[in-house]
């Protein structure tokens, strides 16, 4: 089963790729590595989850926001290489959680991205990871996800 078929089986579809919000590229390829810019919890140009975990959001809604952000990253990857089956391995996930001071459950929030990547890509979705709480994110997004991915030639 292809990653795109797995997405459909999960009842998910990749969102439209958003234009870069500044002077950067959504994906840069160096050799067989894709360095993916941070993606937010957005769908159709609108934020799906805004605010801080521990104030406006819960760990569960933060998890859902990280899942949306990861879907946006997958959409950028597919736009860059044509099909998700070219992903050999997700190497690294950097996850940022917009959270109140002292928030200690960032890993539980970023599991939303990690769980989605494994569900869609299987073992190729297993990765190293950082999950960091921050005081704010662009557009007041609840989460931001940044990936490094190895792809086939």
44-93 pLDDT, tens digit per residue, is 999 999 999 999 999 999 999 999 999 999 999 999 999 999 999 999 99
Decide if 124 is inside a domain: yes
CA distances from 27 to 55, 74, 102 (A): 32, 11, 32
The mean-pLDDT minimum among 10-24, 99-113, 123-137 falls in 10-24
The number of domains in the chain is 1
Decide if 74 is inside a domain: yes
Decide if 152 is inside a domain: no
Decide if 150 is inside a domain: no
Task: Indicate the average pLDDT of the chain.
Answer: 97
Reading the block at residue 87, the tokens are 């992903």
CA dihedral sign, ordered 70, 37, 33, 95: negative
For residue 28, the model assigns a pLDDT of 98
For residue 153, the model assigns a pLDDT of 86
3-state SS of the chain is CCHHHHHHHCCCCCCCCCCCCCCCCCEEEECCEEEEEEEECEECCEECCECCECCCECHHHHHHHHHHHHHHHHHHHHHHHCCHHHEEEEEEEEEEEEECCCCCCHHHHHHHHHHHHHHHHHHHHCCEEEEEEECCCHHHECEEEEEEEEECC
Decide if 153 is inside a domain: no
Range of the domain at 93: 3-143
């Amino acid at each position: 089963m292809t990653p795109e078929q797995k997405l459909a089986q999960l009842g998910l579809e990749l969102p439209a790729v958003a234009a870069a919000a500044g002077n950067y590229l959504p994906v840069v390829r160096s050799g067989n590595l894709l360095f993916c810019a941070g993606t937010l919890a957005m769908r159709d140009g609108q934020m799906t989850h805004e605010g801080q975990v521990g104030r406006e959001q819960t760990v569960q809604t933060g998890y859902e926001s990280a899942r949306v952000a990861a879907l946006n990253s997958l959409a950028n990857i597919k736009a860059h290489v044509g099909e998700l089956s070219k992903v050999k391995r997700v190497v690294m996930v950097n996850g940022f959680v917009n959270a109140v001071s002292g928030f200690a459950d960032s890993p539980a929030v970023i599991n939303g991205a990690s769980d989605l990547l494994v569900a869609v890509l299987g073992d190729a979705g297993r990765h190293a990871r950082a999950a960091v709480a921050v005081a704010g994110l662009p557009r007041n997004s609840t989460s931001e996800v940044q990936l490094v991915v190895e792809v086939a030639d």
